[in-house]
Amino acid sequence: MGADDSLPDDVTTLQAMLRAERAARLAAEAEAQAGTLLIEKLKLTIKKLRHEQFGQSSERGALLDQLELQLADLEENAAQAETAAQTAAEKIAVPSFERRKPARRPLPEHLPRERIVYPVPSNCPCCGDSRLRKIGEDVTETLELVPRQWKVIQHVREKLVCRACEAITQPPAPSHPIARGRAGPKLLAHVLFAKYGLHLPLHRQSDVYQREGIDLDVSTLADWVGASAATLMPLVDAIRSHVFAAERIHADDTTVPVLAKGKTRTGRLWTYVRDDRPFAGPDPPAAVFFYSPDRGGAHPEQHLAGYAGLMQADAYAGFGKLYEANRKGGPIIEAACWAHGRRKFFDLARLTKAPIAAEAVKRIDVLFAIEREINGLAPEVRLRVRQERSRHLIVELEARAARQALQEQRHDQSDQLLPQPLGCI
């Protein structure tokens, strides 16, 4: 029995059903439109937060994570509703609201391709003739995932005995990343990356592995992580020595969530970067990381105890002792970060439309454009271009800032001479 056979015969009932279906469709369209608007609003909010994530508003990371989760849920619900509507439309042909679909990006070219060729008929379905020839093909690509596969590698060392002297010989035992460990290097690398790269705690990793049929206790994983850290320490020391052997480094810190008992606390991740490529340096770039539970100035003092040279950083007060002339081991020369300085003006220009801040951003952008032109050139070339093109711009910017500061000072002094009610205006 078809779908049309179950419909009533009287017109009144059919009209009532049509009105009900139309009302449901309009409600669904309104809900879909509201969902689409909310998705676009969340995308805009997330875009703004991402722009500010590494600036003043780095503490908004938790809010950004929550918004991204909410956006993913909304998009999943919208896709589910659209699929359900398409399924229902196959039964009842009613024009429906079409949600704006995002632009589909091509699948990565580096992935291997597996061709599934569907069998074609041997005879023409129209006339039955067997003289068919290929004129082309349609290819539809879908992204697929091959689940990871666990395996046990048996390292076999055969024993041989000499028939002449009865001496027993055997190949030497293979080396393992960690002593007395039964984990291969790829498994250890996966556990370390999941913990430090994906911030996946060991107890959650243990649960995931258990669902895949592999029983790995948290204590076992912790032993692997500790042993791997000790094994990799010579590499860490080599990278640290390489970074701090540079004439100039970049320093910055960022927040990192740390799981604690019953809550999540905020730690600090300190990063020191060596990158000689902007001035055609031959040495490779590298970065070294340090963790601390707080942002105290004692931590960078300890990290940089053996370093003396140029350091580009923000205006964090904890770096103050590093720049003192009587510092043990020699002072560190401060190279104030133009990007951090520009950010203050940019925020004022964007939020308050302040003309003075907008003019400062415009002048700094001209300097940045010059720096992009000389990026990667030899130091003497960069120095010559900076002297010829950038020096007078910085002098003018400094003079403008000094004049503005003097005007503000005079304005503050005149306010102090006014009666208190007028001085508060």
Predicted confidence band at 423 (pLDDT cuts at 50, 70, 90)?
A: very low
In degrees, to the nearest 5, what angle opens at C-alpha 238 toward C-alphas 235 and 239?
90
How far is it, in rounded angstroms, from Cα 65 to Cα 62? 5
Using one digit for the tens of pLDDT, what is the confidence trace for 273-284?
999 999 888 999
Burial class (CB in 10 A: 0-12, 13-18, 19+), 190: middle
In degrees, to the nearest 5, what angle opens at C-alpha 94 toward C-alphas 88 and 95?
115
If you average pLDDT over residues 255-277, what whole number do you get? 87
Predicted pLDDT of residue 35 = 74
Alpha-carbon distances of 86 from 76, 89, 252, 372, rounded to whole Å: 15, 5, 51, 51
Using one digit for the tens of pLDDT, what is the confidence trace for 9-19?
777 887 888 88
How far is it, in rounded angstroms, from Cα 256 to Cα 295? 11
Chain mean position to CA 59? 16
Average pLDDT, the chain: 83
Closest CA to 344 of 124, 66, 74, 52: 52
Neighbour tally for 361: CB within 10 Å: 18
Closest CA to 209 of 199, 223, 194: 194
How far is it, in rounded angstroms, from Cα 297 to Cα 209? 41
Neighbour tally for 286: CB within 10 Å: 16
Alpha-carbon distances of 399 from 367, 395, 406, 409, rounded to whole Å: 16, 6, 11, 15
Predicted pLDDT of residue 12 = 82
If you average pLDDT over residues 328-337, what whole number do you get? 89
Residues 281 and 305 sit within 8 Å (Cβ to Cβ): no
Predicted pLDDT of residue 415 = 47
Closest CA to 404 of 349, 336, 340, 356: 356
Residues in the chain: 425
Predicted pLDDT of residue 1 = 44
Using one digit for the tens of pLDDT, what is the confidence trace for 166-209?
999 999 988 888 887 789 999 999 999 999 888 888 999 999 99
Q: Which two tokens stand for residue 254?
A: 């960022």
Using one digit for the tens of pLDDT, what is the confidence trace for 7-57?
677 778 878 888 888 888 787 777 777 777 777 777 777 766 666 655 444
Residues 338 and 390 sit within 8 Å (Cβ to Cβ): no
